[in-house]
């Protein structure tokens, strides 16, 4: 069965510091992988997606992620955190023709001034 | 295009009452998904439609839950005899199958509180 594990339910960084949010997936077939962001009391917004093209994927708001098949990972990074990045981030996998997403439990990013 | 819209945004009800949520997907999208999200957790898949056909239901979708998409456009999710454990955010998402690379477009959700 497909699954996603996000290490760290909370990550705290200083403004301007590197952001690293970890995601590992489990899938028996080549997956599509996604990162979504959720602000309080709002729906989910797509940050970026991997669909078997380039392994380094660039998304919105300066975020990027690298697909590493050997490590079954899809970690999200941003070189310099901004206060507006504070939100909940979800990694998700899609593996069949339904295109339904299986989500991780999320990581809350806190940005300190 | 106004995106995926959900109504109501918030619903407070007493245990045992029935509630219904509505989702209007992006107009050209033929697939529609329902998810449930509890506090501190990721969204959990409930069910999805392609046009008016309900193609998959999760084990989370108990007999008290029913979803419809009668004309392949908007969808409703009804919860009968609500329980306190039903308190959650109910998210709707839509997509299209033609040339799809898997992205789902989410609405802002309907938050249910069962007292």
B43, A44 Cβ separation under 8 angstroms: yes
Measured between beta carbons, the chain B residues lying within 8 angstroms of A32 are: 101-102
**CB neighbours of A101 closer than 8 A, spacing ≥ 6?**
A34, A92, A93, A94, B43, B45, B102, B104
pLDDT at A34: 95
Tokens read off for A22? 């970890």
Say which residue the tokens 């997509």 belong to.
B95
pLDDT at A41: 78
CA separation for the pair B91, B110 (Å, rounded): 6
Q: Does B42 touch chain A (CB under 8 A)?
A: yes
- Please say if the pLDDT value at position A2 is more than 90: no
What percentage of chain A reaches a pLDDT higher than 70? 100
| CA neighbours closer than 13 Å in the CB half-sphere of residue A42 | 12
CA separation for the pair A74, A94 (Å, rounded): 13
Q: Does A98 touch chain B (CB under 8 A)?
A: yes
pLDDT at A51: 85
Q: Does A94 touch chain B (CB under 8 A)?
A: yes
């Amino acid at each position: 069965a497909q699954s996603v594990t996000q290490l760290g339910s909370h990550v705290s960084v200083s403004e301007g510091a590197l952001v690293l949010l970890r995601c590992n997936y489990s899938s028996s077939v080549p997956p599509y992988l996604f990162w979504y962001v959720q602000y309080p009391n709002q729906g989910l917004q797509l940050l970026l997606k991997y669909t078997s093209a380039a392994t380094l994927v660039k998304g919105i708001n300066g975020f990027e992620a690298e697909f590493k098949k050997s490590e079954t990972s899809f970690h999200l990074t941003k070189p310099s955190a901004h206060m507006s990045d504070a939100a909940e981030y979800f990694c998700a996998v899609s593996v069949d023709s339904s295109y339904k997403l299986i989500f991780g439990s999320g990581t809350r990013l806190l940005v300190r001034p | 295009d106004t995106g995926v819209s959900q109504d109501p945004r918030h619903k407070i009800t007493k245990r045992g009452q029935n509630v219904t949520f509505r989702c209007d997907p992006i107009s050209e999208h033929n697939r529609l998904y329902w998810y449930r999200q509890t506090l501190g957790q990721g969204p959990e898949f409930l069910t999805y439609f392609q046009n008016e056909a309900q193609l998959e239901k999760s084990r989370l979708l108990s007999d008290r839950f029913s979803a419809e998409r009668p004309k392949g456009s908007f969808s409703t999710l009804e919860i009968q005899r609500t329980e306190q454990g039903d308190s959650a955010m109910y998210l709707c998402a839509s997509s299209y199958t033609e040339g799809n690379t898997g992205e789902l477009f989410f609405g802002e959700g309907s938050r249910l509180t069962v007292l």
